[in-house]
Amino acid sequence: MAALGVARADDRELLERANADLVVTSLDEVDVEAPARHRLVRHGS
């Protein structure tokens, strides 16, 4: 299982400390095809 943290309230550091696998500020940053390959990465990575 992977954890995606969406930092919408200036809480990026808190989400990173909570061990989110990927922290973004918008879901537009997430590669939507990567989970099908069992990966959680930024768009374009």
Tally of domains in the chain:
1
Residue 3 phi/psi, 5-degree rounding, is -115, 125
pLDDT at residue 45, rounded to an integer:
75
Could you tell me if residue 19 is inside a domain? yes
Residue-number span of the structural domain to which 12 is assigned: 4-37
Could you tell me if residue 45 is inside a domain? no
Could you tell me if residue 42 is inside a domain? no
Is the pLDDT reported for residue 6 higher than 80?
yes
Q: Is the pTM higher than 0.85?
A: no
Could you tell me if residue 44 is inside a domain? no
Q: What is the pLDDT of residues 7-37, one digit of tens each?
A: 999 999 999 999 999 999 999 999 999 988 9
Could you tell me if residue 15 is inside a domain? yes
